[in-house]
Amino acid sequence: MQYLDQAIQNDPTNACDFNSVKGALLTEVKKYEEADVEFQKALAQDPNCERAMEALAVNYIIRAQDLKEETVSITDRKQQAENDKILVDLYQKSVPLLERYRDLLKTRNAEESEIKAALIKLQNAYYNLSNLGVDKSKELEEIEKVLDPK
């Protein structure tokens, strides 16, 4: 972390890479809010920073999945409902980031495997939102047609 902090200080124009790496490392140790800050710094300097955009969206999804796992064992209905609201919020935060990321990949003619990976993440967010009462069936159907064009 000290190395990254020094690198960021020495070359602030490279925030997309350095802050994204720092955010990813923080995400690995479940320091999600600190990771958010790093990804946001990268995006503030470069709004098209694909690495930060994808990583921030994944950070929201990981947080949602962690909370979903905790919620399974909760018997208090009120707490379950509160957690569901948080889950919806986290998944909804990931969607515009993933949609923009997908669009950037398409614009730069990224490899099909990169686009497919982005679509799978977006599919995950849409699916979970639909299960939480936010109708994303149309969007989910469109992605499924692209991923499995039978």
What tens digit of pLDDT does each residue of 111-146 get? Answer: 999 999 999 999 999 999 999 999 999 999 999 999
Q: Give the global pTM.
A: 0.90
Surface-to-core class of residue 40, CB atoms within 10 Å of its CB (0-12 exposed, 13-18 middle, 19+ buried): middle
Percentage of the chain beyond pLDDT 90 is 76
- CA max distance for the chain: 51
Number of domains in the chain: 1
Q: How far apart are CA 48 and CA 7, in angstroms?
A: 21
Q: Is the pLDDT of residue 7 over 90?
A: no
Q: Is the pLDDT of residue 57 over 90?
A: yes
Question: CB–CB of 16/51 below 8 Å?
Answer: yes
Q: Which domain holds residue 25?
A: 2-147
pLDDT, position 5: 65
Q: What is the CATH number of the domain that holds 40?
A: 1.25.40.10
Nearest C-alpha neighbor of 35 from the set 13, 12, 58, 14 = 58
